[in-house]
Chain A
């Protein structure tokens, strides 16, 4: 009997999975700049992604702002430097927490829903149905969703940062009675244009990751309804994992530029 696997079953599947993911991503870039653009569907998906996560992100951002401020205060109090709190929070939230919290929430909420939706479309042959109707399902389903997440998550991240800063302001105001103007002034004092650009680039990458991972996992779902759950679950896990790796890389690259 011939050797069926190059290495072993698991390793082979892993590497061919990487190959498939690479082809998938390459196909996205090929298809994304070709007509037709399905603009209406992109807008629909943006609306879907944004609106679905808005309440959750508002709440989480607000709580992150308050909690982070509360937890940071004691260590600054040791130096008698509570006046640094706004700038510390500003840096932490705008540069790291806002984008990261938004990305993680969206990975959970949007990533899983894309994974599950495309997964169920795959196993119930809706994707095949589209294909035999001479509609490019990749373009209609994948490209539109990935573009939607890539565009929407930066907006959500900025919104999340703003809400988190507001939560932080409330806490600072309650403890140190500083005014909103002075809070925001010192919060943004140390934030440069590069920081904001980095944050936006970061969230664009996160958005793309969430979209492409969700779509990839859903698009290649197998094994019926069980595969749908697996696709949704793996979409979340893989997206979060990649987000952390990307965070490290982007911070590193931003440091080169600085």
Chain B
């Protein structure tokens, strides 16, 4: 007794099925009924990074939900165009230059779009307008900035470290000022060297006087040699230069000695004229090196082939004197 279904029942059943399917789909898709029937307008916004914003996320204005994100689309090369459905009744509270930012509605909550700011006297936003975006820091950005901050801080502290180190170790003008005892040390050592140099120079000069008197004796090798006027002239010139140098050195030493006897004046000069201080230091350095060179020159002169014999003789005489004694 298996009755095959008649056409009428099949068609009616089909229509009931379609009706139910539509009802079900309607209920499930429609979502918020009131929202569907409240009038909407569309506003756009361009973001570089939406940070996980999704269609359907809420839009807040002053903490009140005024719409939802309806769509996210890529725009241009790297931007995202966010389409917002905003209730008409909220329109008059959003000026044209209002800003949009992405926020979240709790510590671990959903992403939301927040509309804020704008100037009150500007006309309100219209359907299809684009709202400006304030770049908010994503956590990645924040870490990046923090990293930069760190490296900056590192550079600052290392600079400060060297600075303070230099200050302590007396480098730079301030360092020198703070530690000007070293100037005296330098000056003193320079003077000491100069004194040695001048003593030696005087010795040399006096020796040369003896030597030159010996040279005047005829028949000796030296005599023959020195009759070559060219050599003699040059030797004489160098001796004169040496004489002059020794004179200047002794003059300088006296000057320094004078200055050193009045330390207040030195500090005064250094304080009021930084250049002078630097130049002073330079001079002292030069003096030091030149006196050292002079010393070396004199040493070299002693070993000179031409003059070796004279010095040996002198040493022998000195020996003899000591033996005679």
Q: How far is the CB of B32 from chain A (nearest CB, A)?
A: 7
Residues of B close to A252: CB separation below 8 A: 27-28
CA distance A20 to B1 in the complex (A): 17
The 4 closest A-B pairs by CB, nearest first: A15-B13, A16-B5, A19-B13, A18-B13
- Residue of B4, B6, B13 contacting most chain A CB atoms (<10 Å): B13
Q: Are A249 and B13 in contact (CB under 8 A)?
A: no
Q: Are B7 and A6 in contact (CB under 8 A)?
A: yes
Query: Would you call the interface of chain A mostly helix, strand, loop, or mixed?
Result: helix
Q: Are B28 and A15 in contact (CB under 8 A)?
A: no
B300 located at the interface, meaning its Cβ lies under 8 Å from any Cβ of chain A in the complex: no
With A16-B5, A22-B16 given, is the CB distance from A249 to B10 under 8 Å? no
A13 located at the interface, meaning its Cβ lies under 8 Å from any Cβ of chain B in the complex: yes
CA distance A6 to B6 in the complex (A): 8
CA distance A16 to B10 in the complex (A): 4
With A248-B28, A256-B32 given, is the CB distance from A12 to B16 under 8 Å? no
Q: How far is the CB of A98 from chain B (nearest CB, A)?
A: 23
Look across to chain A and name the residue whose beta carbon is closest to the beta carbon of B4: A4
B14 located at the interface, meaning its Cβ lies under 8 Å from any Cβ of chain A in the complex: yes
Q: How many residues of B contact A (CB 8 A)?
A: 20
Q: How far is the CB of B24 from chain A (nearest CB, A)?
A: 7
A192 located at the interface, meaning its Cβ lies under 8 Å from any Cβ of chain B in the complex: no
A:206-255 near B, CB below 8 Å:
222, 245, 248-249, 252-253, 255
Residues of B close to A4: CB separation below 8 A: 4
A37 located at the interface, meaning its Cβ lies under 8 Å from any Cβ of chain B in the complex: no
Residues of B close to A5: CB separation below 8 A: 4-5
Q: Are A15 and B33 in contact (CB under 8 A)?
A: no
Residues of B close to A249: CB separation below 8 A: 24, 27-28
Query: Would you call the interface of chain B mostly helix, strand, loop, or mixed?
Result: helix
Q: Are B2 and A22 in contact (CB under 8 A)?
A: no
Q: Are A7 and B24 in contact (CB under 8 A)?
A: no
Q: Are A15 and B17 in contact (CB under 8 A)?
A: yes
A17 located at the interface, meaning its Cβ lies under 8 Å from any Cβ of chain B in the complex: yes
CA distance A245 to B28 in the complex (A): 10
CA distance A253 to B27 in the complex (A): 8
B218 located at the interface, meaning its Cβ lies under 8 Å from any Cβ of chain A in the complex: no
B156 located at the interface, meaning its Cβ lies under 8 Å from any Cβ of chain A in the complex: no
Q: Are B6 and A16 in contact (CB under 8 A)?
A: yes
A47 located at the interface, meaning its Cβ lies under 8 Å from any Cβ of chain B in the complex: no
With A248-B28, A249-B27, A253-B27 given, is the CB distance from A16 to B9 under 8 Å? yes
A29 located at the interface, meaning its Cβ lies under 8 Å from any Cβ of chain B in the complex: no
Q: Are A222 and B2 in contact (CB under 8 A)?
A: yes
A13-B5, A15-B11 provided; 17 other pairs, C-beta below 8 A? A4-B4, A6-B11, A7-B10, A9-B4, A12-B10, A15-B10, A15-B13, A15-B17, A16-B13, A18-B16, A19-B10, A19-B12, A19-B13, A19-B16, A20-B9, A22-B16, A248-B28
